[in-house]
Amino acid sequence: MLAPIEMSHAVPARKIVRAKPRPNPKPAPEQCAPARFRIVVDVGHTAEALGADSARNDPEFAFNLRLARLIAEKLKSDGFATTRLLVTEGRARPSLFKRVNAANDWRADLFLSIHHDAVPDKFLEEWEFEGARSHFSDRFSGHSLFVSRQNPRYAASLAFARLLGRELKAQDLTYAHQYTLPLMGRYRHQLLDKDVGVYRYDQLVVLSRTRRAAVLLEAGSIINRDEEMAMNSPARQQVIAAAVATAMKEFCAKY
């Protein structure tokens, strides 16, 4: 018999699979440090340019100063230790550029300007308060928030304004709706958020020329006789200050 032929079984060469290098992990997002988060709380107007008169002949500047002080104190007590209260001197327009320069030089992370609202003169009615002639308009009320598209941090500005608007709404405070009406004339503004009352005001110097996020809060109408009394009350002022602090914590963490 013929010897059986052995079949050779060739072993295929192993394929060497090289492990792909792992991409470098993305750095963890920087956590907000409230103690280092720089906030400017700007007191609207000056002792030389007092702003609007209230229905009872009190100057807007006094309302702004009281509320801004309370907001700054609340922010500091909630951990925002580097909050700065900005009180500016001088005439109206030059003071605007002083505010912007101060915020930019200090490298503020957020600039919040505090004001109280009035109405165009055509809506004013006359009355007498404590023997003195005065003006009022009970037609409109509410707070409002303004941002500028010309601000280099417009998206962040809008984000903070929305956060603050939501906090004010959660406290059952209503925003002013009149700025969208044609009868407001040159004071008419585009409503960016109809849920919480954020308006666009591109040309406003303190909003457009600051280098970081900037928001202006009209805290309420002092030409409206009932709302003027509310704005003078410590309870309302504390509600607004608490809303600012809550919004600031969320803003600091996210933006």
Full set of structural domains in the chain with CATH: 34-254 (3.40.630.40)
Could you tell me which residue, 38 or 9, shows the higher pLDDT? 38
Whether the pLDDT of residue 255 is over 90: the answer is no
What are the tens digits of pLDDT across the range 187-196? 999 999 999 9
Contact between 108 and 212 under an 8 Å Cβ cutoff? The reply is yes
pLDDT over 90 (residue 176):
yes
Average pLDDT over every residue of 21-29: 53
Chain segment 122-164, per-residue pLDDT in tens? 999 999 999 999 999 999 999 999 999 999 999 999 999 999 9
Q: Which pLDDT tens digit goes with each residue over 51-71?
A: 999 999 999 999 999 999 999
pLDDT digits (tens, 9 = 90+) for 177-186: 999 999 999 9
Contact 150, 83 (CB under 8 A): no
pLDDT of 5 above 70? no
Q: Would you say 80 and 73 are in contact if contact means Cβ atoms under 8 Å apart?
A: no
pTM beyond 0.85, yes or no = yes
